[in-house]
Chain A
Amino acid sequence: MLNIVNKSPLDRGSLDSCLQSAEPGAILLIEDGVYAATRGSAGEARLKAAAGKFKLFALGPDMEARGIADRAMDGVTLIDYAGFVDLVAEYNTCQSWL
């Protein structure tokens, strides 16, 4: 399954809920969810711990908009909108953790 998280990990529990509940698959961070993938943030450690279980992606345009594209942590692949579509097509189901 492709899990999509669009909330900041410090503002809401969406990422934690996803990490705790989801079966192995992929996580795509979009909108304010991309803050989890920044070096030195609290989200980084949580994502690193989950890297064996999930393929990790973040939407590049959302990171650029927030001025954090140059701080993307290792282990997270930045994709564009076309890559977003490819991911949705690749997985049988997707779930948005709103």
Chain B
Amino acid sequence: MTIKKFMMVNRKAPYGTVYALESLEVVLIAAAFEQDVSLAFLDDGVYQLKKGHQTKGVEMKAFEKTYGALEDYDVTKLYVDQESLAGRGLTADDLCVPVEIMSRADLGKRMEEQDVLLSF
């Protein structure tokens, strides 16, 4: 099978909409087909990685652990926009998984390298 470079571009906060969860579903599907998968987090998408989700009160499935499990699917390319983090009072220490933090311009370069970009 031809391996293509897939990037999921995550720009929405978790739980308020279903986009973040759907993105993870597609990541796992693409990884199951042994594609070259990366995830970009920018704008409110960086909130998806904020650690400490306690979803009992809202009776929703917490999917924070799924980010931690991505490594088991050989998905290790997680890119986060520095500017989006800073604008929300967040630093790398606030995130639930190791990521590569970069500028918006560098994120744009990574996007340019992809075969397929899926927006969530």
Tell me the A residues contacting B by CB distance below 8 Å: 6-8, 10-11, 31-32, 35, 38-42, 44, 60-62, 64-71, 80
Contact = CB atoms under 8 A, between A and B. Distances in A.
B67 interface: no
Top 7 closest pairs, chain A to chain B, by CB = A40-B89, A61-B57, A32-B16, A67-B52, A64-B54, A65-B55, A67-B50
A66 B17 CA distance: 12
A65 B60 contact: yes
A65 B88 contact: no
Contacts, number: 76
B15 interface: yes
Interface of B: 12-17, 43-44, 47, 50-58, 60, 62, 64, 87-90
20 contacts: A8-B16, A11-B43, A32-B17, A35-B44, A40-B89, A41-B87, A41-B89, A44-B89, A60-B57, A62-B57, A62-B58, A65-B15, A65-B57, A66-B13, A66-B50, A66-B53, A67-B52, A67-B53, A69-B54, A70-B52
A38 B14 contact: no
A80 B17 CA distance: 21
A6 B89 contact: no
A67 to B, nearest CB: 3
Contacts of A67: 50-54, 64
Contacts of B53: 65-67
A31 B14 CA distance: 10
Nearest to A40: B89
Contacts of B90: 40
B14, B17, B55, B57 — most chain A CB neighbours (10 Å):
B57
B59 to A, nearest CB: 9
A68 to B, nearest CB: 7
